[in-house]
Amino acid sequence: MKTDSTISRNITLPLSDDILETLHAGDELLLTGAMYVGRDAAHKRMIETLQAGEPLPVDLKGQVIYFMGPTPARPGKAIGSAGPTSSYRMDAYSPRLMAEGLKGMIGKGMRSKEVKEAMKKHKAVYLGAIGGAGALFAGCIRKVEVVAYDDLGPEALRRIEVRDFPVTVVNDIYGGDIYEEGRAQFRVVDQKHVAV
């Protein structure tokens, strides 16, 4: 696990396996480039598309999906508040999308065991975004366009362009998990207090 002195690393999207191999749980990143935005309704629609034997509306190879449903943009802004949604809502869909080439997911909260196994199998990472920081994230978003499922409103699949978008690697391709590492540190502290 990283310390407070960790320096954020600049990463240009899309993600390649070479980049993914250098990332470890706890790494702080600043993402620049294009990524997709979608929540559970868009994920469900993508899975239904695949199950029907049809191609996805976007190529997911090397791509990142941010689990977020934006609020309307104010005049002169690219987007409204852009905070993350709870990632567990996408757990049923994420393994299949990783099999289609998805390399990164951004959200808040923990992922299921099945999703973590799929990340190791398909070389993908889960990146944590701070809940409650929607205005901060909105300031990193330069451009927004709906690319599919416009009928879903705020849950439509969007492509966004970001600059210096701050995230932390929660789960890496090696099975590293910053949440589990944090819990383990506190278990050690608790055991020391009990022993005293």
For the chain, what is the largest distance between any 2 Cα atoms, rounded to a whole number of angstroms?
62
More confident residue, 149 or 77: 149
> What average pLDDT does the chain have?
91
Please compute the mean of the pLDDT values over residues 168-172 and round it to a whole number: 98
User: Tell me: the pLDDT tens digits for 114-169?
Assistant: 999 999 999 999 999 988 888 889 999 999 999 999 999 989 999 999 999 999 99
The residue type found at 129 is A
Element (DSSP H or E) covering residue 194: helix 178-195
Is this structure's pTM higher than 0.75?
A: yes
Question: Which residues lie closer than 8 Å to 85 by C-beta, 6 or more apart?
Answer: 39, 67, 68, 69, 107, 108
Per-residue pLDDT, 7: 72
Architecture of domain 9-195: Alpha-Beta Barrel (3.20)
3-state secondary structure of 154: helix
Please say whether the dihedral angle defined by the alpha carbons of residues 123, 157, 164 and 4, taken in this order, is positive or negative: negative
As a whole number of angstroms, the distance between CA 102 and CA 65 comes to 8
For residue 39, the SS3 value is: coil
